[in-house]
A and B are shown apart, each in its own frame.
Chain A
Amino acid sequence: MTSQSGYEHLVPLLKEFAALDQDDPRRNRLRDELVTGHLPVALHIARRFSHRGEPQEDLEQVATVGLINAVDRFEPDRGSDFLSYAVPTITGEVRRHFRDQAWSMRVPRRLKDLHVSIGAAVSELSQRLGRAPRPSEIAAHLDISTEEVLEGLEAAGAYRSASLDEVLTDDDPTGQTTGDVLGEADSALDQVEYRESVRPLLASLPERERTILMLRFFGNLTQTQIAEKVGISQMHVSRLLAQTLAKLREGLE
């Protein structure tokens, strides 16, 4: 990894930095140089988490904090190279940020856990049933009461940007399989009167939001079918649809 990483020139500096005393006057300058030199790594990781509702600048800042931690804690003597230490450190920092941000409404721990298990149950049951599960089915699957499921679903509503499983897995952007259906949806849009007013708004949407909206309202797919095609969870589709409709409504007024 080290040989082709493009950061080889920094390896001696890392060794030098690690060998310095905590209060050595050269520390700050060297640290700056190391952080600046590896900054593209942090920015690259921050970009992987974009389009998830957090401002890009915040992500870059958090990733940079992760990079600084990695520079400070890296021990060259341990044998591993810096990048294989830094990448998980930076990624961990960004994920922690999402977790803290997303649960900023201070949902109790038990409900967070419940929400995570419900999310997993929903995707498993959707696969098996070929449709979205009912609360009673989720309850049976998790061996908890329906009341608890309803409580957990409510907590999901309090969850601002995206659900934990979506944040913690790197989802692919819109899959290839949506193409055909999208073509049909587009021609359905052509048949409606208001297309002139709505087209520019649709065109201004992020691709994934636009695809989801078209598939639901002009392609007549259910949320669960869309979730499968686009490669995100049903809960995520549900949230994106609601947000997109609100955005369009503002734009049309």
Chain B
Amino acid sequence: MAPGGQQADLDSRTLVEVRIPASAAQISAVRVVAADLAARQDFDLDAVSDLRMAVDEACATLVPLAAAGATLSCRFLANTAAVEVVVQVTVDDPGAKVPQNTFGWRVLTTLADDVTVLDGEAGTLGIGLSLRRERMDG
């Protein structure tokens, strides 16, 4: 950092956002970032792989719900204790819901330590998930 440079607070330094067209073909970029962030926080390789798959699953769940031409945003907050992820898309259909009785949801909830549906904001749907660095199992 340059001397006398701006002071950044902790969150803005560790917050990473990836925005992609809401299309299945674009999800790989998000996967790569997820894996890299976890590996750089020294997560063990199982957890790195779990996070990559969980983020993949969350994105794949939201892509079919997205409005035409929508952008999918994926925000990562990584520190040595956990990686928190919020994936969001804009939706057209006000009745659209994040499906939770699917195999994909089972996958997501198995991989992540914590999963939340974010449907409080009109016109957007999202999934929040987090993975702790120290895991219970294993």
- A interface residues (Cβ-Cβ under 8 A, vs B): 122, 130-136, 146, 150, 153-154, 157, 192-194, 197-198, 216-217, 220, 222-225, 234-235, 238, 241-242, 245, 248-249, 252-253
Contact = CB atoms under 8 A, between A and B. Distances in A.
A132 B44 contact: yes
Contacts of B101: 193-194
B17 to A, nearest CB: 21
Given A222-B137, A242-B53, A198 B103 contact: yes
Interface string B84-98: 000000000000000
28 contacts: A122-B45, A131-B138, A132-B44, A132-B45, A132-B47, A133-B44, A134-B45, A135-B39, A135-B45, A150-B36, A157-B32, A157-B35, A192-B103, A193-B101, A194-B103, A194-B106, A198-B103, A217-B106, A217-B110, A222-B46, A222-B137, A223-B46, A224-B46, A235-B45, A241-B53, A242-B52, A252-B103, A252-B104
Interface in B14-40: 32, 35-36, 39-40
Contacts of B44: 131-134
Contacts of B103: 192, 194, 197-198, 248, 252
B107 A245 contact: yes
B49 interface: yes
Contacts of B45: 122, 132-135, 153, 223, 234-235, 238
A245 B45 CA distance: 18
A136 B56 CA distance: 25
Contacts of B104: 249, 252
B46 A132 contact: yes
| Overall SS of chain B's interface | helix
Nearest to B35: A157
Interface string B111-125: 000000000000000
Nearest to A253: B64
Contacts of B36: 150, 154
A236 to B, nearest CB: 11
Interface in B34-66: 35-36, 39-40, 42-47, 49-50, 52-53, 56-57, 60, 64
Given A192-B106, A220-B110, A241 B49 contact: yes
Interface of B: 32, 35-36, 39-40, 42-47, 49-50, 52-53, 56-57, 60, 64, 101-104, 106-107, 110, 137-138
Contacts of A153: 39, 45
A212 B60 CA distance: 21
Q: Which 8 A/B pairs are nearest by Cβ-Cβ distance? A: A132-B46, A238-B49, A132-B45, A132-B44, A131-B138, A222-B138, A223-B46, A198-B103
Nearest to B102: A194
Given A130-B138, A131-B46, A217-B106, A249 B60 contact: yes
Given A217-B107, A245-B57, A249-B104, A134 B137 contact: no
A136 B110 CA distance: 26
Given A223-B49, A242-B53, A245-B57, A150 B107 contact: no
Nearest to B47: A132
B106 A225 contact: no
A249 B103 CA distance: 9
A55 to B, nearest CB: 24
A104 B64 CA distance: 33
Nearest to A147: B40
Contacts of A252: 102-104
A252 B103 CA distance: 9
Contacts of A224: 46, 138
